Amino acid sequence: MRQNCSVAELLRSEMDKLTPTERKISRVLLANYPVAGLETIAQLAARVEVSGPTVLRLVSKLGFDSYTAFQAALRGELEARLQSPLVRREVGMAAEGTDFLADFVRRQTELMQQTVANVSQAEFDGAVELLADPKRRVWLLGGRLTEPLAAYLAHHLKVVRSQVTLLRPLPTSWADNLVDMGKHDVLVVFDIRRYWQDAQRMAEMAAQRKVQVVLFTDQWLSPVSRCARYTLAAHTAGPAGWDTNTPLLMLVDALIAAVNTRHWGDIHERLHELERMRAELGEGDESMRR
C-alpha cells in the first residue's frame, strides 16, 4: 500500500485495474465513505450483492493483509477527520534549536508531492474541461478557511471566461442561486475537515438539478465527494496543527494554468479585448484625477 495515502485515494486510483465486481464494491464504499467499510464483511457483501471472498480480494488488492487492517485504516481516517488543531500539533516542530522555516517548507513540499502522486489525471483533466467550457456557467463556494481559495479561482476564471459567480458563504442566500442552476452549470466546492454540512446539502441539491460538481478537498474526502463528478484531493495535514491550504492552492494554480494552456485559442481574443478596455478605463481615470 502506498504511504500517506487514504483508502479513498487507493480506491479511486486503482479503479481501472479492478474487475467489474470489485469496481462495484469500490463505488459502494466511496458512495458512503468511510462508514460502508466499517460494516462486517457479510454486511458489505450483502449490500453490494457479491460474495465475501470478493470483498477480501479487493481489500488484498488495495494492499491490506486482512479486513481487520482495512477497517483499522478507515477508523484512523474517521478519527483524523474530527481532530482539532489541539490534537494535530507536532511538538517537535517547536523544539528549541530547530530551523522552523526550513522544516516547515520541507513538510509543505512533501505534502505537495503526495498530493500530485494521488490526484488522478482523469479527474484533473475532467475538471479542466468543465471549467473551460464557455457554454457552462460556473458557481464557486468556499468555507470559513477556503473561501479565499474559491475567490482566487473565481477571479482568474472571470478573466478567461464569462458567467462565473462566487457564492457568499451564507446558506440563507443560496436558494436564490440554486433555483437558476441546471444541467449546463458547474458548482465548484471547497470543503476540508471538519466538513461543512451546509455545503454538502448545497452540493447534493445542485447535483439533483443535474449540475456538475467539482470538489476540492483533503485526502480524507469531504462527504461532498458522494455527489461530485470530479474530486481533487490535497494532502493538507500541516505540522503546526492547522491544516495547510498550500497543496490546495497548488491544485488551483495548476488548474488555472491548464485552462489557459489548453484553451489559449479561445482565451487570447478575450484577453486582448480586456486589455484594450482596461487601457481605456485607465485613461479615463487619469483625466478625472487631473
Does the pLDDT value for residue 264 go beyond 70?
yes
- Share the mean pLDDT of the chain: 88
pLDDT number for residue 173:
95
Q: Is the confidence at residue 60, as pLDDT, over 90?
A: yes
More confident residue, 282 or 259: 259
Mean pLDDT value of segment 244-270:
93
What are 68-119's pLDDT values in tens digits? 999 999 998 888 776 665 455 555 555 566 788 888 899 899 999 999 988 9
Q: Determine the Cα–Cα distance for residues 9 and 189; give it in Å rounded to an integer.
A: 19
Q: Is the pLDDT of residue 239 over 70?
A: no
> What is the Cα–Cα distance from 75 to 214, expressed in whole angstroms?
26
Asked whether residue 61 carries a pLDDT value surpassing 90, the answer given is yes
* Mean pLDDT of the 275-288 span: 72
